[in-house]
Structure 1
C-alpha cells in the first residue's frame, strides 16, 4: 500500500506539472494580447480562440483528474490508516508478550556467582528502562519521518513555486492591479475623511477658544456686577435702618402731637384762635370801660 500511495503521489505531481504547463500557455496567450483589457476589447482570431478553448478543456480535464485522484487517495489513506492501527495493535501485543517473556526468563534466572535469583524489583526497573528506551526510539523515528516528509514537501513546494513564478499569467497581475487601485481609492477616501475631520476639529477648537474667552469676560463682568450689587445691598441696608429710625421718630412726634392736642385743643386751629383773641380783646375793652 505504501508503494501504491507513492505511485499515486507521482501521478498527482505529473498532473500538477501538466496544470502548470497549461497556465504557462495561458500566460503566453495573455502576453500576446498585451493585457486582459485589450484582450477583452479586441476581437481575437480563430486560432487564438481554438487554442484558448483547447487549454480550457485541458485545464478542466486536469482538474477532474486531480479531483478523482484526490478521492482515490482519500480512500486509500483511510484503508492504510485502518491497516496501520491493526499493525500497531499487533506490534503492541507482540512487544508486551516479549516483555512478559523477558520478565519470566529473568524471574527464573539464577546469578552464577551467588546462586540466588534476581530480585523482582531489579527486574521491574530493567523492564521500565527498556520500555522507556522503546518509547524514545519510537518518538525519534516518528520525528525523523515527519521531518523527512516536511523536507520533501518543502523542496517540492519551492520547485513548484519556481516553475509557477515563470508562468505567472497577466490576468493575475491585472487583478492585483485592480485590487491595488481599489485599495488606493479607499486610502484616498480615508485621507479625505481624515482631512475633513482635522479641519472640523480645528474649527471646533477655535470655537471653543472663543467661547472660553467670552466666558472669562462674562465671568469678570459678572464679578464686577456682583461687587456693585453687594455695595447696593449694603446701602439698601443702611437706608432701611435709616427709614426705620425716621419712622420711629415720626411715630414719636405723632404721639407727642396727639398728646399736645389733647392738652391744648386750640393749638393748630386758626379760626378758634382768632375767635379766642377777639373775645379776649373785647373782654379787656369791657373791663377798661367798667374801671372808668
Structure 2
C-alpha cells in the first residue's frame, strides 16, 4: 500500500487529470468531426474521379464506334472523291484535337482541385493524428491509474497493452473492410457504366459482354455481402470494446469516490499527526529544561554523585596522611641525627683538646 504522502500526490494528480477530462472529450469530438469531414471529402473526390474516368471511357467508346463506322462506310463508298475524304479527315482531326484539349484542360483543372483537396486532407489527417495521440496518451494514463489500484503494476501494464493492441487491431480491420467496400462499390459502378455504354448498340458481342458483366456483378455482390458480414463482426467487436471501456469508466468513477473518502481520512490523520508533533515538541522542551536543571544541580553537588572522583579523593587523602606521617617521622629522625652529630662534634673537640 501507498503511504500518506504518496497517496496524497496520487489524489492530486488524479484530480488534475479529471479536471482536464472535459478538454480531452472535446478533443475527441473534434477528432471525430474532422475524420467525418475527411471521409466525406475523400468520397467526393473519388466520385469525381470516377465520373471523369467514366466520361473519358464513354468518349473513347464513342470515338471507337465512330471510326469503326466510318471505316465500314469507307469500304462501300468508293464514290467519294479524294478532296471530300481529305476534308472529312481534317475535320475529324480538328474535332479530335478539340476533344483532347478539352480533356487536358479538364484534367488539369481536376488535378489542381485534387491537389488542393489532398493538401486539406493531409492537414486534417495530421491534426487528427495529433489529437488522437493526445487522446491515446490520456486514455493510457487513466487506465494505468485505474489498474494500479487493483491489479498491481505488472498486471496493469499487461492489461493496458492488451486492450490497446485489441483496439488498434479492430480499428485497422474496420478501416481495411471499409476501404475494400469502397473499392468494390467503385468497381461495381464502373462496370455498370461500362455496361450502359456497351448497351447503346446491342448485338451478339454486347450480349456476351452483358452476360460476363452480369456474372462479374454477381461475384462482386457476393464479395460485398462477405465484406458486410465481416463489417458486422467488426462492429460487434467495437461494441464489446465500448462496453469494456464503459466498465473501466465506471470503475474509474468508483475509484474517484473512494479516493475522496481516503482524502478525508488522510486529512484527519494529518491533523492528528500535527497534534502529536505539537505534543512531542512540548515534551522535548520540557526535557531540555530538566536536563539544564540536572546539569546545574550536578555542578552544585560537586563530588557527591561521582563515585570515581570520591574514591580518587579518598585515595589522595590516605596518601597525604601517610606522607604526613612519614614526614613527621623523618623530621624526628633528622632532629635525632642532628643531636647525634652535635654530640659527636663535642666529643671530637674534647678529644682534640685533651
TM-score between the two structures when normalised by the length of structure 1 = 0.42
Larger Rg: 1
TM-score between the two structures when normalised by the length of structure 2 = 0.36
